[in-house]
Amino acid sequence: MSLGSFLTSLGAVAVVLGVMILVHEFGHYAAAKFFGVRVEQFALGFGKRLFGFRKGETDYRVNLLPLGGYVKMSGENPLDTPTGDPREFLSHPRWHRFIIAIAGPAMNILLAIGLLTGIYMVRYEHAAYMDQPAVVGWVQDNSPAQKAGIQAGDRIVRIDNLLNPTWEDALYKILLSPNQPLDIAVERGSQVLTKRVVPEKVGKDEVGDAGLEPEQVINISAVEAGMPAAKAGIEPGDELVSVGDTPIHSAQGLIRRLQDNGAKPIEVRVLREGQERAFTVTPVLDKERGDGAYRIGVLPGSRIHVDKLPFRQALLRSLQENKRNSLLVFELVQKMIQRKVSMRQMSGPIGIAQASGEAVRQKGWTPILTLMAMISLQLGLFNLFPIPILDGGVILLLILEGLMRRDISLTVKERIYKAAFVFLVLFAVLVIYNDLTKAIPALGG
């Protein structure tokens, strides 16, 4: 990674995580202030105070270690001796404390909903096939899908318990199922056939891959100067219709058709400004590639769909998308606990920095705002997990105390918090180690 890319990633992750943490802690702060709880510190980061200012009774500060943030309220530590001050956290009824605890994650979830709503209202670009029915455009040779008998043209009508999935739904299911059998029902003509596919574990993140490529419209993203396509008159933006007598619905389908044809002249039909045009090209052998592939000098790409929705529709779509992403998070955690997927699918600060840098380098604001929405949702959900020290742990203890109608003893709480602290430290080390093994492959062995 170049110095410029590193600095871009560093700046991007500082903004992304800074906004997420600020919004989260503001939720706690606003709820505490609303109920009259004294807030002593509003901090970004941990450790030694670097700079800040004091206003009223609160010290607003930025600390040395940029690994989170906190809102320190008077009397919130259950191990401290309460003084009975009505403005202390523990002096307030449990339902006040419950709302203060849940306000942070709630703000992150609301931010995710708001960001996606705004994106959908202004301009959301994505591959057109992602929200289309899952029709197979290509099946890779010797892939799990081919071994299971899935063919190009099949429409996936069920994948496990999910009916009529879009390609986005189907791809997420496959990604979260490495080495795990998936029951897939496909519609082929008038028949519905059930297949069992076991996606392979691939990549640094060890995600699942079944060897399927979506059926989609293939646009020419770029044309290489001096190559057969350019000489014939094919232009960027043309939509591929067919090569020879074969309709083209996937990039792999184009590649295979050219290899089968070899160095013989072949007709390529495209759509340009709504009119179909035909060009004759003669593929050339790429001598620089070890596989001896035949090429015509085009870069195939996906048709891009642009959403620009009114507020109500944008909000409804944002709610649906965040609901789907939430269920995917819970499914991923469940499979990790069951050891069905690798912990390497998780990303920490380094992974987020890399993703943030890549998003910033892409054209427009959509990629970085979409990433922020995803991270904000995941941060909100993670903080709701019933782990003491996290907001979810505080909420769980409040619920238990409410059911018992008495406080849990300080001795028990102390042991719970110590165990939780050790767990979180080990978890943080594991996540950062995962990031390092993916960024520096030699560490992964």
Q: Which residues are catalytic?
A: 25
- Cα angle 338-342-348, degrees, rounded to a multiple of 5: 115
Give the Cα separation of 379 and 19 in Å (integer).
Answer: 12
Spatial neighbors of 106 by CB under 8 A, at least 6 apart, are 27, 380
Task: Name beta bridge partners: 39.
Answer: 73
Rounded to the nearest 5 percent, the helix, strand and coil shares of the chain are 45, 25, 30
The 3-state DSSP class for residue 135 equals strand
- Cα angle 313-318-321, degrees, rounded to a multiple of 5: 125
Using an 8 Å Cβ cutoff, are 186 and 154 in contact?
Answer: yes
Give the Cα separation of 249 and 139 in Å (integer).
Answer: 12
Q: Report the DSSP pairing between strands 239-243 and 246-247.
A: antiparallel
Element (H, E) at 359: helix 349-361
Task: Name beta bridge partners: 280.
Answer: 267
Backbone angles phi, psi at 178, to 5 degrees: -65, 130
The 3-state DSSP class for residue 197 equals strand
- DSSP states along 386-426: S-TTSHHHHHHHHHHHHHHTSPPPHHHHHHHHHHHHHHHHH
Using an 8 Å Cβ cutoff, are 387 and 426 in contact?
Answer: no
Give the Cα separation of 166 and 187 in Å (integer).
Answer: 14
Spatial neighbors of 198 by CB under 8 A, at least 6 apart, are 144, 179, 180, 181, 182
Among 141, 212, 138, which residue's Cα sits nearest to residue 174? 212
Radius of gyration, alpha carbons of the chain: 27
